[in-house]
Amino acid sequence: MPNKKVFILLPDGVGLRNFAFSNFYKIGLECKFNIVYWNNTPFDLTSLGFNEIKIKNAKTNPLTDSYKNARKHIELNLNIKRAGDAVYDSYRFPFFFKSVKGAVKSYAAKLFIAINNSERGLEKVREKIKFQEKKTRFYQDCLQTLQEEKPHFVFCTNQRPVLAIAPILAAKELNIPTGTFIFSWDNLPKATMVIETDYYFVWSEHMKEELLKYYPYILENQIFVVGTPQFESHFNPDDIIDRIKFFNDHNLDLSKKYICYSGDDFTTCPDDPKYLSDVADGVRRLNEQNNHLLGIIFRRCPVDFSTRYDEVLERNEDLIVPIDPIWKKNGTEWNTILPTQEDVKLLTNTIFHTEMVVNLGSSMVFDYACFKKPCAFLKYDVPNKIDMNWSVSKIYNYVHFRSMPDQNAVIWLNSADEITDKIRNGLNTNGTLESAQNWFKIINQEPPEISSARIWKSIETILNY
């Protein structure tokens, strides 16, 4: 019997790290699958030795964006109604009226929300999205590709992009089973589901429960708990670079130990440079008090190419060493800034060669948990905020933080004055934070290093139904 052909749909660059720059392809080949990447990214996967079919001229129906935004708002409205919890309001993005095109789309979305703001209305919007996308040239092109290639399964690497809708609908039209991976640990409460597939691949039992809660039309037998390939690289000892080489490559001082400050994008944290400055001041006091030789590696958010940190970095050049992520900018939108294979290794080594991480509520807590190293979360508002409507209290009220088993999973920095003592305490934990490990087990299926194998095993199960 010939190997089963599986299409790996990459509607944007978000899935590259998990499904191209990992062992996912290699493991799939070992499982005797015929793997073809259906690639809508600028990245040339043939350079990695992968089989690919480039998607060309992908374009959605003019109404799809408006219907998608309406769907998100209606889902959030229904979540508020069901749960009696206003937190879902915080997941809304403001409507865009600064251009004629943006204004037309926003007014259309508002209209669709107004006339469909109910369970039944949501069903109508979901059907409208499918109806509109089936009228596109892109949908016809997808049908043709699938009829020619005859894959046995289409696996989408991300549930969020509108450009994934037509390929999935085309596969369903041809009775080809489909599946999607839920990309991030915070996605489901945010109402980010855009595509509807036959099967869903989630990180954990916790995420499975969320999927069933937020999308009641999905059945339990459609869901596979697989973990995420996001953390697999941290368990590959061959990727670890010798300390001397890593320090020399990045102009680090071999006489020092380093902590990592992991930056956020502007929307998540407009005052991030001020927080970095506070951490630098705290580390400087620690060095003065204890004659410590401690430095800071600053890893900025991969989609932040701004100059907003320059003043802080210049003022603390004796203390902070920036090691920028190796991502490539292919456009102005965040999802056109693509990860690279080199950065996967860089991140792993940055974690390995630092003692702990400081940030504002990011999933880096789990990257450091892989190495049994602590994470400190910033939890105070700075004076003279750039945006007076922004607050850390909004960040930590998000639903995904409610999965934390107890407050000891991270070190809480509740004021700038606490930074020195709490970093000192963090360095003395000997890298063991049991609560952080427990949180990681809730968020991601154990063991974390075999997620790719679990995904392929699940696909095999589906194809043997």
DSSP letter at 203 equals S
Environment class of 369 (CB within 10 Å of its CB; exposed 0-12, middle 13-18, buried 19+): buried
Domain parsing of the chain, residue ranges: 5-60+136-228+449-463, 69-121, 233-443
Contact between 78 and 215 (Cβ < 8 Å):
no
In tens, the pLDDT along 145-177 reads 999 999 999 999 999 999 999 999 999 999 999
Contact between 6 and 153 (Cβ < 8 Å):
yes
- DSSP, collapsed to helix, strand or coil, labels residue 186 as coil
pLDDT in tens, the chain (465 residues): 468 999 999 999 989 999 999 999 999 999 999 999 999 999 999 999 999 999 999 999 999 999 999 999 999 999 999 999 999 999 998 898 989 999 999 999 999 999 999 999 999 999 999 999 999 999 999 999 999 999 999 999 999 999 999 999 999 999 999 999 999 999 999 999 999 999 999 999 999 999 999 999 999 999 999 999 999 999 999 999 999 999 999 999 999 999 999 999 998 999 999 999 999 999 999 999 977 789 999 999 998 889 999 999 999 999 999 999 998 876 655 556 788 999 999 999 999 999 999 999 999 999 999 999 999 999 999 999 999 889 999 999 999 999 999 999 999 999 999 999 999 999 987 555 889 999 999 999 999 999 999 999 999 999 998
Q: Tell me the C-alpha distance between 322 and 77, whole Å.
A: 42
In tens, the pLDDT along 50-108 reads 999 999 999 999 999 999 999 999 999 999 999 999 999 999 988 989 899 999 999 99
Strand partners, 6: 35, 153
Q: CATH top-level class for 5-60+136-228+449-463?
A: alpha beta
Strand partners, 227: none
Contact between 355 and 427 (Cβ < 8 Å):
yes
Q: Which two tokens stand for residue 253?
A: 């001082």
- This prediction's pTM: 0.95
Q: Which two tokens stand for residue 412?
A: 């809480």
- Domain 5-60+136-228+449-463 matches domain 233-443 at the CATH topology level: yes
Contact between 458 and 155 (Cβ < 8 Å):
no
Q: What is the dihedral of CA 241, 373, 338, 335, to 10 degrees?
A: 180
Q: What is the pLDDT of residue 2?
A: 60
Q: What are phi and psi of 193, to 5 degrees?
A: -70, 125
Radius of gyration over alpha carbons of the chain, in Å?
Answer: 23
In tens, the pLDDT along 9-66 reads 999 998 999 999 999 999 999 999 999 999 999 999 999 999 999 999 999 999 999 9
Environment class of 226 (CB within 10 Å of its CB; exposed 0-12, middle 13-18, buried 19+): buried
Contact between 298 and 263 (Cβ < 8 Å):
yes
18: amino acid identity, one letter? N
Sign of CA dihedral 219, 220, 222, 223: positive
Q: How many CB atoms lie within 10 A of CB 362?
A: 19
CATH superfamily of 233-443: Glycogen Phosphorylase B; (3.40.50.2000)
Q: Tell me the C-alpha distance between 295 and 115, whole Å.
A: 56
